Copies of this chain bind each other. A is one copy, B any other.
Amino acid sequence: MNFDKEIEEYVNEMTKEYTEELCRMIKIPSVSNDKTKKEELYNILREVERIVKPIGFESEIIETRGGPALIATLKSREEAPWLWIYNHMDVQPAKEPEWKTQPFEPAVEEGRIIGRGSTDDKGPALAVIHAIKFLKSKGLELPNIQLVYETEEEVGSTNFGQFLEENLRSGKLREPRSILVSDTIFSGEWPTISYKLRGVTRAFAKLELAEKEVHSGMAGGAAINPLKVMINALNTCYEGNEVTIPGWKEGVKETSEKELESTKKAAQTINIDTFKKELGLREMSVREEYELLKKLWHEPTFEIHGFEGVQYEPGSIKTAIPRSVTAKITMRTVPGQEVRKLLILLEEHLKKTHEKITVEGDGLPACMTNIENPFIERAQEACKYGFEKEALFVGCGGSIGAVSEMQRIIPQAPVILISQSLLSDGYHAPNEEFRIEQAQKGCKVMAKYISSIAKE
Residues of A within 8 A of B (CB): 33, 92-93, 98, 185, 198, 200, 202, 204, 208-225, 227-228, 231-232, 234-235, 238, 241, 275, 279-286, 292, 295-296, 299-308, 310-323, 328-330, 332, 396-399, 423, 427-430
Contacts and interface: CB of A to CB of B under 8 A. Distances in A.
Given A210-B279, A283-B209, A396 B217 contact: yes
A97 to B, nearest CB: 11
Contact of A221 (B283, B322, B397): B397
Contact of A283 (B224, B306, B317): B224
B235 A282 contact: no
Given A204-B317, A227-B304, A305-B320, 13 more contacts: A33-B316, A208-B282, A212-B430, A214-B279, A214-B280, A217-B396, A220-B303, A222-B285, A224-B285, A231-B231, A305-B319, A306-B322, A319-B398
A91 to B, nearest CB: 13
A195 to B, nearest CB: 16
B281 A210 contact: yes
29 contacts: A93-B318, A204-B317, A210-B280, A212-B429, A213-B429, A217-B399, A218-B296, A218-B398, A220-B303, A220-B397, A221-B241, A221-B295, A221-B299, A222-B285, A222-B296, A223-B285, A224-B283, A225-B303, A225-B304, A228-B234, A228-B303, A232-B235, A235-B235, A305-B317, A306-B310, A306-B311, A311-B328, A317-B329, A319-B398
A172 to B, nearest CB: 31
Given A235-B231, A305-B311, A279 B241 contact: no
A275 B228 CA distance: 22
A116 to B, nearest CB: 14
B427 A222 contact: no
A87 to B, nearest CB: 17
Q: Which of A208, A275, A428 has most chain B Cβ within 10 Å?
A: A428
Nearest to A214: B279
Contacts of A299: 221
B219 A296 contact: yes
Contacts of A279: 210, 212, 214, 218-219, 223
A428 B225 CA distance: 17
Contact of A281 (B98, B209, B399): B209
B330 A319 contact: yes
A49 B185 CA distance: 69
A347 to B, nearest CB: 17
Contacts of A430: 212
A202 B114 CA distance: 42
Contact of A216 (B209, B332, B429): B332
B321 A303 contact: yes
A398 B221 CA distance: 11
A283 B356 CA distance: 11
A318 B154 CA distance: 9
Contact of A312 (B202, B307, B332): B307
A404 to B, nearest CB: 13
Contacts of A329: 317
A400 B313 CA distance: 23
Nearest to A217: B398
Contact of A218 (B209, B224, B427): B427
Contacts of A428: 215, 318-320
A315 B399 CA distance: 20
A317 to B, nearest CB: 5
